[in-house]
Amino acid sequence: MLALHTPEGTLADVASTKLTQAIITGELIQGQKLNESDLAERYGIGRGPLREALRQLEGMRLVKRIPHAGARVVTLDRDMMADLYAVREALEGMACRTAALRMTDAEIDTLRLLLEKHAEQIEATDGQIYVQSEGDFDFHYQIALGSRNQMLIDLLAGELYQLLRMCRYRTSRLSARTRPALQQHRHIVDALTARDGELAEILMRRHISGAWKSISEMMDEENDSKPKLITRSKAASGS
Amino acid sequence: MLALHTPEGTLADVASTKLTQAIITGELIQGQKLNESDLAERYGIGRGPLREALRQLEGMRLVKRIPHAGARVVTLDRDMMADLYAVREALEGMACRTAALRMTDAEIDTLRLLLEKHAEQIEATDGQIYVQSEGDFDFHYQIALGSRNQMLIDLLAGELYQLLRMCRYRTSRLSARTRPALQQHRHIVDALTARDGELAEILMRRHISGAWKSISEMMDEENDSKPKLITRSKAASGS
DNA sequence: TTCTCAATGATTGTTGACAATCTTTTTCCA
DNA sequence: TGGAAAAAGATTGTCAACAATCATTGAGAA
């Protein structure tokens, strides 16, 4: 909840955050061409700052720029999502291992309290994945912070989590396994409390790889159930 | 050796690579203020492209930009290096695990051949750390490629390895443990050959954490041996 | 003398116009 | 009619000037 709206700042930075939001929410569709002049006019700024914003988004892997050919919103295909979850598994595993050694007792208590709040939310708003999804981010983000590794925090919060949010938005109907996830979260906090870094890492990695497995299977089902609707995809896909 | 010199491209991109090189080699000193006008004139380009290059370098964590205050070359202090090696341990561990499942037999053979070449180089140019250092990068880069995880490859080759090179350049006199490293490399290739992903990951992580331990200790010694020479550092250092 | 505050200078942020490149359309020939 | 080359259009890349902000210096008062 901190530093999200960015009330002031350079035009390039506010454009960057606005573009980020627009991409994550799907307002800008995947693979869509991003016309500099149009976007600049849309946000009421010049092309200079907008170009800098695009370069920044490129660094976050939200857009792909090709020289002299413009920028496009990244397309989150299945392979890329698999890559993302693998990287996430490695990084959050490490974060969890380190957090087990560096988090204060108070922070771990706060984390446990957070889980109780999530449990209530799940009971109250059964099926409301959107709120629970943000709660999930809170949990993982707090552990990343607990690692005290700034580079790790930047990588996770600054790059991966944006892509992950994009995934969630795209596959929001899927992945309704909030309750088992909550249980896994509890076990992770237990490992943190025991200051068992190795176990905490293993649990976190299992948690994330399990999440991907679940999402992956659901995508399979959805693709198998209506294969003719997606026939428009090019047969001879380039590169 | 591919796509390093970038003979052509946009001015912003060539400026980006030139700046990267200048920072890694120490031509631009750590913490140094980067004046846009000066740099633009130095590279014979306008300030627009140069600003885009700086934004790009910011994404690679080679410079730190502060709004209205300009950009500075990042300062690789001990904490940041520790963070870097921890992240690298996680990412390369995952890369190694995945590579064990996805690399072709031919690629693994090539990797083994590479190690033999390194062994010869070590015998021939004993102490020449620079060439061996690049060989080390080759090894790790090939394994990253073997993971077939594009995001992982981008993260390692595009961001972490640049910072790592910067470290090496700074601490080149230290870390002369090429021979044990070579032996560890051999064991990793053995694990890859056996298609044992878990073992390969463990060995790679041990290899990297050991490297950090070694560097860390050598930095300690250097700091302890001549403490009075560094007395000029500000007593009340501001933020 | 020292602290505060205003004025000056330097640097960054932004804009609009111009040049280079790519894409599309049109035209011409086979 | 089909395809290829050329011209027109649109888009990206680049530049130089202008505005806004920050840092420094100097003057003035306590």
Backbone angles phi, psi at B131, to 5 degrees: -65, -40
Q: Is the CB of A7 under 7 A from strand D?
A: no
Please give the Cα distance from B203 to A101 (Å, whole number). 22
pTM across the whole model: 0.89
Q: Picking from A23-37, A50-64, A116-130, which range would have the lowest pLDDT averaged per residue?
A: A116-130
Asked if residues A207 and A181 have their Cβ atoms less than 8 Å apart, the reply is yes
What percentage of chain B has pLDDT greater than the value 90? 72
Which tokens is B44 given?
A: 């014979």
CB < 8 Å to B152, chain A: 83, 86-87
User: What pLDDT was estimated at residue B236?
Assistant: 38
Report all structural domains of chain B as residue ranges with CATH numbers, in order of start: 11-73 (1.10.10.10), 78-216 (1.20.120.530)
d(CA B100, CA B108): 9
Residue B234 pLDDT > 50: no
Reduce the DSSP state of residue A11 to 3 states and report it: helix
* pLDDT tens digits, B147-170: 999 999 999 999 999 999 998 888
**What's the mean pLDDT in B122-146?**
84
Question: How confident is the model over A47-92, as pLDDT tens digits?
Answer: 999 999 999 999 999 999 999 999 999 999 999 999 999 999 999 9
* Residue A206 predicted with pLDDT over 50: yes
By C1' distance from the Cα of A68, the closest nucleotide is D12
Q: Does the nearest atom of strand D lie within 7 Å of B6's Cβ?
A: no
Instruction: Please state the rounded mean pLDDT for residues B100-113.
Output: 97
B63 touches strand C (CB under 7 A): no
CA-to-C1' distance for A15 and D26, Å? 40
Chain A residues touching B60 at Cβ < 8 A: 59
pLDDT for the residue A168: 87
Per-residue confidence band for B227, with pLDDT thresholds at 50, 70 and 90: low
Averaged pLDDT for residues A103-107: 98
B230 pLDDT exceeds 60? no
Give the largest CA-CA distance in chain B: 58
Say how far apart CA A180 and CA A178 lie, in whole Å: 6
Whether the per-residue pLDDT at B82 is higher than 70: the answer is yes
Question: Is there a contact between B84 and A151 if contact means CB atoms under 8 Å apart?
Answer: yes
Quick one: average pLDDT of B219-228? 68
Highest mean pLDDT among A163-177, B4-18, B129-143: B129-143
> Helix, strand or coil for residue B65?
strand
pLDDT 10s digits, A181-203: 899 999 999 999 999 999 999 99
CA B4 from chain centre, in angstroms, equals 15
Q: Are A107 and A147 in contact (CB under 8 A)?
A: no
- Letter for the amino acid at B78? R
